[in-house]
Structure 1
């Protein structure tokens, strides 16, 4: 799917000054960070692409290289940019192997993700619905607006392990279909980047221990009724904290655990 044409970067002192307009107490590197974030949001640098060097950016923006470096350091800490030794700095992407499961924290009890291999997706349906008031509020829509509702299972080594319901804003993902998702070999978030230009940069999750809520869920996960499961609700955001996805999942934990690294 073709992407909208991105505006050229500001080059004049006036343009840069306007783009960096901020309260007087905002440090200069934070203003530069905001400007770089604007360029990321506008799609000037696509996921997986390299950005200009610190020296080039410092010349463009008429600030010191150290100021640019500090701004990039913060964007890298937020997983928006990735530094690669000897290669440069790149826009983070969900396509790369080491971030394929950036938001999916389910890990096998024995071995690791490489041993387990990629999860197998089964799309049960992908259809358009009208957003309820609750769903609209979560996704920043008006009640009744179109949303895409996708239900799927993820199987690990042939065993259904995750049952997910996913809701996406209909106006942003007009062309998404079950066939498109099924045929794409990589992670779904990488598909949303490639086909729709939407890069999920952060997510907020709520996790509860529950019993299998109904016979259908138990059957799809191939577990007895009332089996203990993890219920994970996730809201994923693109740049500037715009919500782009609500995901509700039921996770089996008889062979897997949920891993969070805190620092």
Structure 2
């Protein structure tokens, strides 16, 4: 099978015909993977303003958000507030309700409610945050501080295959996949579902940006090894699958 044929097969739904779902970890009684990647308790965290407390988030109809959403690669130099960033994180991966059995209702759909993505941030201009790399902890609605990096702009540009605009953003989102979460229920069929889930998450970011006077640009062309290294993931059991740079809309 050629590489093109393999790529096309990934888009098809053939896996459902051949997989033995009686042999999945779920069917065998294995406990599901955790809802959230564990975080060392000694690492610094930043509490985020919660739903209902955000300042600077404008009421906006769904119709208006869809009509006005735009891919934006040029950003104004003004920073985001912590409230605005908190809103974008909640809109893309926030938890509405933790359910029994290792599931949670979030602000985005996910195949089988598996939610196999984690959210990382390269922060440049957010009031109250140092420039650096962070991970979102949706269960507690906090940021885990992963560390500062003086060359973060250059490292992000290199990781996005020399695209300049991510290094000029206020913040760039990166979503990693932990395939085990989906494979627990769907075995090999999970791969396509995880890719679809990343699209759901990024579209929510596009729409949510309209409520804070911002725009985003989804990034699918990136250097896998450099991106994984930048966000501190192993590239095997967790790896980058999608990115998006975000910034305020310029005056013009």
* TM-score relative to the length of structure 1: 0.26
Structure having the larger proportion of residues in strand? 1
Structure having the higher Rg: 1
Higher relative contact order (CA 8 A, sep 6+): 2
Structure having the larger proportion of residues in helix? 2
